[in-house]
Amino acid sequence: MPDPEKEFAEEWRDAAYNCFSSGHKFCREVCPVMQVTRNESWSPTAFHANVVAMEKGELEVADVAADYVNCTGCGACELRCPNSLFTGDFYRFRTRTVDLVKAVRGLAVEQGLHQPGWQRWNLLTDERRHEPVLGATPVEQARVRDWADGLDLPIGGESILFVDCEAAFHRTSVPRSVARILNLAGYPFGLMNEQWCCGGPAAEMGYEEQARRFARHNLDDWRAAGVRRVLVLDPHDYITFTEDYPKYFGDAYDIEIVLVVELLAELIREGRLTPHVPVERAVTYHDPCRLNKRKGVWREPREILRAIPGLTFHDVDRVTQWSYCSGGGGGLPVEKPELTAKISEQRVGKAAELGVDTLVSACPWSERPLSEAGAARSIDVVDLHELLAESLGVAP
Amino acid sequence: MSVLIGDPVLDELRQILGPGHVLTGKADRLNRARVPAPFPVHRWAERMPDLVVLPASTEEVAEVLKLANRLRIPVVPRDGGTGLTDGAVPLCGGIVVDVKRINAIREIDLGNRTCTVGTGINALKLNEVLARHDLIYPDDPASYPCSLVGGRIGTSGWSLIGSRYGHSRDLVLSFDHVLPTGKVIHVGDGIGRKITKSSSGYQLKHLFMGHQGTLGIATEATLKLFPRPEAEFSPFWAFEDYDSAYRAVGALARAGVATFAGAVLFDEWKVAYLRRDDEAYIPQPSSVKALVCAALYGYEDEVRAGGRRLMRIARSHGARYLGDEISEGDWAARHDRYATPLHGRTRSGQVVPMSWHCEDASINYTGLPAVRLAWHEIADRLRRESDVFDDWGMFAYTNGATGADYLTEIDIGIWEQRLDDTAWEAWVRAKRDLAAVSLAHGGSISACHGSCREGEVDLVPEELGGGYDVMLDIKRTIDPNNIMNPGKYLLDQAYAEKS
């Protein structure tokens, strides 16, 4: 076994045994990939067991690199792990399957083992500074602020709004809604001077060197402009800025990261925003995995929905939603779009059972696959920020 | 890969199942070589199948078995792979038939209150759907969030609330079963799919449950459903000594309360084990040496009345009620609480990740105290022999509503990272000794998991006596070429005798 693999197995061995020894597999039925494939090789348990096998010399990363594609990074498995669920983090040894999957993907790339779709995606991202979310249509640095045309937003300032690649180039109605709402509330903010992709997707697919380069650029850009606070509307960015960047930059990283959904709920609570235009829709809310399962953010989106007049809100509790996912995360739609589509179909099917006409999400990356699945069932997929803007009379 | 499984066989399997559902990768095979039963990790490779297939229908399973039977290739069925015996662990390589894709809900029959499902479905997921009809399928093993219906059939599983609703054998009405030859039969009471009682012919349903994959593969099952209970009451009581707790649990189980779903006795070793995470959970004073809990399900008025009666009985045996919060929380955590690897301790107190073995004998009520002491002695010997073993204490659960016998469980932590041949041999010897104690007290080696694990399996012929010879005859008749899960239950000798 090559040395980096040996080092990797040594680093992760005890954590892997903690899962292997438990043997419960309670993670399995909440795992979105497992639910649609029923293939035990792609279960969180297998991802840990493989490390035990690597340590025993039974496997090499080349044997399993492709298996680790099959994870959306939703974090459901960690929540459902009896090792974590029952004792919490009493032993400071919480199950960290998402980190493990990222680490294996990183190790694979380090060994020159590439997944073709991911390799192409990250090459293009590296060239264009943004993810190729428009397929054949190139994304360009010059157009990263096009979504804000006509909004007269300043560049720089103490607080800036960071817009992820999907929202900046594809679902532009989301950042436009956010900008209009913040303006309405009189909350001052600007745009970034030279925004690059946050680097999170590269890190998730194993391209950590690239991810660090992008992070370095963004942090330097913030520093140069005197930015103190970054407003984030995308849950994936929120993870990157609150988990990856601190890991890259340590104590020197002193930027305050504000999740827009939390900010908007606060502004409503303080009376600085009052939704008043009735929105006549029967909705249910899709808890974005990275908010609900990984960050424990589930109250504020519901608070916002309950503040919008006219809505009939069929809520499904956050724990039930541990097993829901759009399939849009962790690079899965890049490498295995057919699995993303199945996961989204299943999620929309759950909404259909409630008899709603609208599925509200708060994650731009979930909205494309969910919209595609929703179209087949005549269910609209609407972003929470868009819905709030409508009710505030500032539709994008 | 064995010589039997060359390219032509792979091609044929791909024809049957589609290319994506025949897996030959090393990780695919390694991950289907083990279950949570104690496992000699250092000998993992010996348990590897040659390949894995993921069929989607009864027909595909039948075609795979026909092929395997024709070519004499061993077949091991695997469903959840959550068993605490090693029925799903291949001992002779061959093909693992993993049936998780057969998981559709085919029918919910509200008139007859049954449902028909693929055996790859999980009961928790099924109950999410049944909840819309205010119904439940009350098969509630410790592995409730992950075990699958087919595995429950293959092991003839045991349910935590079986005293109220019955165990898997009572809850599964009938099923499609693929014989080792590939022939598909339907077994139940009589021919009916939804019949709960028939006296027509032999009672084959029981024969094809609990065989650990040695007699074929169940693919579609019809299950009995119940109204979703309106009320649950799960009192936990503390005792200052084991004997009082033992007398109390007996009295509770014998009380004949109709909503009684089960009672559990935790001994002082188990209480000490649970204290290992007291800071994270709910502390109890050191005077607490044993615990008893009971569970009742039904309509609110009947649960309330039954609960009052059980509270009276418990108090008259010196019980101290632990309160609603602890009782409800502890019962709600019953699936997650079984074992936490980090409760493992070496003799010096070092925390190490340990796997758990749970001995699961059926012992009559009157035998419980003696079995308990003998078992702890064996666990103590193991611990003295090697630091990879730890005594995690004992439970006794009622098997049924009258309190005749109990699933009697000693949990032993095993530090698998450090297992070697010497420790494994000590383990197998201990398994044999634990089983011998059960038999010496008129019990059965296994209430729920099956008794084909190394060590204990040597005593199965002794337990079943003449019945074991019948088992050999049946095995030979149904599986003439010994393709189904060869090596299990010492059944290979059926063929040695023949030759």
Which region among A82-91, A307-316, A375-384, B392-401 has the lowest average model confidence (pLDDT)?
A82-91
Q: Give the number of residues written for chain A.
A: 396
Instruction: Name residue, tokens 């590939």.
Output: B182
To the nearest whole Å, the CA of A220 is away from the closest chain B CA by 42
What pLDDT is stored for residue A2 in this prediction? 66
Quick one: average pLDDT of B52-56? Answer: 98
To the nearest whole Å, the CA of A63 is away from the closest chain B CA by 7
Res A375 pLDDT > 50: yes
Res A93 pLDDT > 90: no
Q: How far apart are the C-alpha atoms of A70 and A356, rounded to whole Å?
A: 30
Confidence bin at B279 (pLDDT 50/70/90): low
Q: How far apart are the C-alpha atoms of B493 and A253, rounded to whole Å?
A: 69
Regarding whether B466 and B407 lie in a shared domain, the answer is: no
Nearest residue on chain B to A85, judged by CA atoms?
A: B336
Of B187, B210, B228, the one marking the end of a domain is B228
What pLDDT is stored for residue A136 in this prediction? 85
Nearest residue on chain A to B122, judged by CA atoms?
A: A29
Closest CA to B362 of B467, B267, B250, B438: B438
More reliable by pLDDT, A85 or A324: A324
Is the Cβ of B318 closer than 8 Å to some Cβ of chain A? no
Regarding whether B212 and B131 lie in a shared domain, the answer is: yes
More reliable by pLDDT, B135 or B6: B135
Asked, for residue B179, whether it belongs to a domain, the answer is yes
Regarding whether B162 and B33 lie in a shared domain, the answer is: yes
Q: Which residues contact A235 (CB under 8 A, 6 or more apart)?
A: A259, A288, A289, A290, A291, A295, A297, A362, A363, A365
Asked, for residue B326, whether it belongs to a domain, the answer is no
Q: Is the CB of B336 less than 8 angstroms away from the CB of A85?
A: yes
What are the pLDDT digits (tens) for B283-308?
788 899 999 999 999 999 999 999 99
Provide the CATH number for the domain around residue B346: 3.30.300.330
Q: Which residues of A touch B145 (CB under 8 A)?
A: 24, 26, 29, 80
What are the pLDDT digits (tens) for B305-352?
999 999 999 999 999 999 999 899 888 888 876 668 888 999 999 989
What pLDDT is stored for residue A1 in this prediction? 61
Q: How far apart are the C-alpha atoms of B358 and B363, rounded to whole Å?
A: 15
Of B174, B203, B228, the one marking the end of a domain is B228
Q: How far apart are the C-alpha atoms of B434 and B444, rounded to whole Å?
A: 11
What pLDDT is stored for residue B338 in this prediction? 61
Res B403 pLDDT > 60: yes
Tokens encoding A249: 């930059």
Regarding whether B378 and B236 lie in a shared domain, the answer is: no
Res B4 pLDDT > 50: yes
C-beta of residue A117 within 8 angstroms of C-beta of residue A335: yes
Q: How far apart are the C-alpha atoms of A125 and A30, rounded to whole Å?
A: 32
**Is 0.80 topped by the overall pTM?**
yes
What are the pLDDT digits (tens) for A210-232?
999 999 999 999 999 999 999 99
- The DSSP annotation for B105-170 comes to EEEEETTTTEEEEETT-BHHHHHHHHGGGTEE-----TTTTT-BHHHHHHHT---TTHHHH--HHH
Asked, for residue B335, whether it belongs to a domain, the answer is no
Asked, for residue B422, whether it belongs to a domain, the answer is yes
Count other C-beta atoms under 10 Å from residue A216's C-beta.
15
Asked, for residue B222, whether it belongs to a domain, the answer is yes
Closest CA to A172 of A163, A183, A181, A180: A163
Quick one: average pLDDT of B27-45? Answer: 92
| H or E segment to which residue B178 belongs | strand B172-178
Number of inter-chain CB pairs under 8 A, A vs B: 131
C-beta of residue A285 within 8 angstroms of C-beta of residue A313: yes
Q: Which residues of B touch A87 (CB under 8 A)?
A: 277, 280-281, 340, 342
Asked, for residue B327, whether it belongs to a domain, the answer is no
Regarding whether B258 and B189 lie in a shared domain, the answer is: no
C-beta of residue A46 within 8 angstroms of C-beta of residue A40: yes
- Strands (E) located in B225-340: 226-227, 231-233, 236-239, 260-266, 290-298, 320-321
What pLDDT is stored for residue A119 in this prediction? 98
Q: Please provide the average confidence, as pLDDT, over all residues in chain B.
A: 94
- B 92-131: CB under 8 A from A: 98, 100-101, 103, 120, 122, 124-125, 128
Regarding whether B190 and B103 lie in a shared domain, the answer is: yes
Is the Cβ of A289 closer than 8 Å to some Cβ of chain B? no
Provide the CATH number for the domain around residue B266: 3.30.70.3450
By CB atoms closer than 10 A (0-12, 13-18, 19+), residue A116 is: exposed
What pLDDT is stored for residue B499 in this prediction? 47
Torsion of CA B121, A339, A40, A348, to 10 degrees: -30
B29, B41, B132, B279, best to mutate vs chain A, most A CBs in 10 Å: B41
Is the Cβ of B336 closer than 8 Å to some Cβ of chain A? yes
Confidence bin at A244 (pLDDT 50/70/90): very high
Quick one: average pLDDT of B378-403? Answer: 96
Q: Is the CB of B355 less than 8 angstroms away from the CB of A64?
A: no
Phi, psi of A35 (to 5 degrees): -60, -35
Regarding whether B122 and B35 lie in a shared domain, the answer is: yes
Total number of domains in chain B: 4
- B 186-225: CB under 8 A from A: none
What pLDDT is stored for residue A10 in this prediction? 92
Q: What are the structural domains of chain A?
A: 3-110 (no CATH), 138-266 (3.40.50.1860), 275-391 (3.40.50.1860)
Percent of chain B with pLDDT over 70: 97
Regarding whether B198 and B104 lie in a shared domain, the answer is: yes
Res B498 pLDDT > 70: no
The H-assigned helical ranges of B18-108 are 26-30, 58-71
Q: Which residues of B touch A40 (CB under 8 A)?
A: 31-32, 81, 98, 100
- A 4-23: CB under 8 A from B: 13-14, 17-18, 20-23
What pLDDT is stored for residue B6 in this prediction? 81
- B 390-429: CB under 8 A from A: 416-417
Provide the CATH number for the domain around residue B26: 3.30.465.10
A21, A43, A51, A321, best to mutate vs chain B, most B CBs in 10 Å: A21
Quick one: average pLDDT of A86-99? Answer: 80
What pLDDT is stored for residue B16 in this prediction? 98
Regarding whether B157 and B113 lie in a shared domain, the answer is: yes
Res A63 pLDDT > 70: yes
Asked, for residue B93, whether it belongs to a domain, the answer is yes
Regarding whether B223 and B202 lie in a shared domain, the answer is: yes
Q: Please provide the average confidence, as pLDDT, over all residues in chain A.
A: 95
What are the pLDDT digits (tens) for B464-479?
999 999 999 999 999 9
Enclosing domain of residue B67:
1-228
What are the pLDDT digits (tens) for A341-369?
999 999 999 999 999 999 999 999 999 99
Q: Is the CB of A86 less than 8 angstroms away from the CB of B353?
A: no
Task: Return the SS3 of B490.
Answer: helix
What are the pLDDT digits (tens) for B194-210?
999 999 999 999 999 99
- Strands (E) located in B243-326: 260-266, 290-298, 320-321
Of B228, B247, B268, the one marking the end of a domain is B228
Which region among A17-31, A304-318, B60-74 has the lowest average model confidence (pLDDT)?
A17-31
Asked, for residue B332, whether it belongs to a domain, the answer is no
Percent of chain B with pLDDT over 90: 87
Please, which residues bridge with residue B185 across strands? B177
Q: Is the CB of A24 less than 8 angstroms away from the CB of B122?
A: no
Regarding whether B141 and B282 lie in a shared domain, the answer is: no
What pLDDT is stored for residue A109 in this prediction? 98
Regarding whether B370 and B479 lie in a shared domain, the answer is: no
Which among B23, B27, B342 has CB closest to A63?
B27
What are the pLDDT digits (tens) for B232-246?
999 999 999 999 999
Quick one: average pLDDT of B370-392? Answer: 96
Count other C-beta atoms under 10 Å from residue B486's C-beta.
21
